[in-house]
Chains A and B, each alone.
Chain A
Amino acid sequence: EAGVVQSPRYKIIEKKQPVAFWCNPISGHNTLYWYLQNLGQGPELLIRYENEEAVDDSQLPKDRFSAERLKGVDSTLKIQPAELGDSAVYLCASSSQPQETQYFGPGTRLLVL
């Protein structure tokens, strides 16, 4: 069974440019999470989806970050415009139900110059 797929794996952009990350969860997993992992730290939740509904986006900086999961399967996280401090790893995870084990993708490593 395929795991959580993320692309791209690496992205280098200049500040003020837009960037988007894509995630395809494990088949059948209704719950999808986006995490931010800064260097030397543990992941921090940005947003959680139940099917196509964002049920917890309290930690998402809405002035520049947005996310969507239009058909309740794959998801896109966008930053516009990117800032230097956005350099980090963006992890996607999924679970069959909210309380079940979360399975993580390999992440997208973003460098903003």
Chain B
Amino acid sequence: AQSVTQLDSQVPVFEEAPVELRCNYSSSVSVYLFWYVQYPNQGLQLLLKYLSGSTLVKGINGFEAEFNKSQTSFHLRKPSVHISDTAEYFCAVSGVGDYKLSFGAGTTVTVRA
């Protein structure tokens, strides 16, 4: 089975500042990794995913994440945030070829002017 730990429950950040959301996973098999965003009162939207290949993954809205197998991490970054990036961010993992997603508890990002 796989599991995810999101190391920060809340991240306040000023507009135009960079942000990093930390995610560590645990698995005995090879994994796929995902970041989803959930805006208030909405469902989850896929930001990016790592399946194989380049360890640096670029997603929508200027986000990117880096897969680090030795550190079992998949941290999400954005160089300059906007007010509209205020949301809940979820890291998720599945075994390769497995449909079952295991989500972290989420990180609340609050962007202030």
Q: Please name all residues of chain B whose beta carbon is closer than 8 Å to the beta carbon of A7 when the two chains form the complex.
A: none
Verify B49–A101 contact, CB threshold 8 A: yes
Shortest CB-to-CB span from B6 to chain A, Å, is 8
Q: A91-B44, A104-B44, A106-B41 are in contact. Are A41 and B106 (CB under 8 A)?
A: yes
CA distance A95 to B106 in the complex (A): 22
Shortest CB-to-CB span from B99 to chain A, Å, is 4
CA distance A10 to B75 in the complex (A): 33
The number of chain A residues touching the other chain, given as a range, is 20 to 34
Verify A99–B43 contact, CB threshold 8 A: no
Verify A42–B43 contact, CB threshold 8 A: no
Inter-chain residue pair count (beta carbon < 8 A): 51
Partner of B105, one of A42, A101, A107: A42
Verify A45–B100 contact, CB threshold 8 A: yes
Verify B90–A42 contact, CB threshold 8 A: yes
Q: Is B53 an interface residue (CB 8 A)?
A: no
Verify B99–A48 contact, CB threshold 8 A: yes
Q: Which residues of B contact A (CB under 8 A)?
A: 4, 36, 41-46, 49, 90, 92, 97-101, 103-106
Q: Which residues of A contact B (CB under 8 A)?
A: 4, 6, 9, 31, 40-45, 48, 56, 91, 93, 95, 98-99, 101-107, 109
What are 30 of the A-B contact pairs (CB < 8 Å)? A4-B43, A40-B105, A40-B106, A41-B103, A41-B105, A41-B106, A42-B4, A42-B92, A42-B104, A42-B105, A43-B90, A43-B103, A44-B103, A48-B99, A48-B100, A91-B44, A93-B44, A95-B99, A98-B99, A99-B97, A99-B98, A101-B49, A102-B46, A102-B101, A103-B46, A104-B44, A104-B45, A106-B42, A107-B42, A107-B43
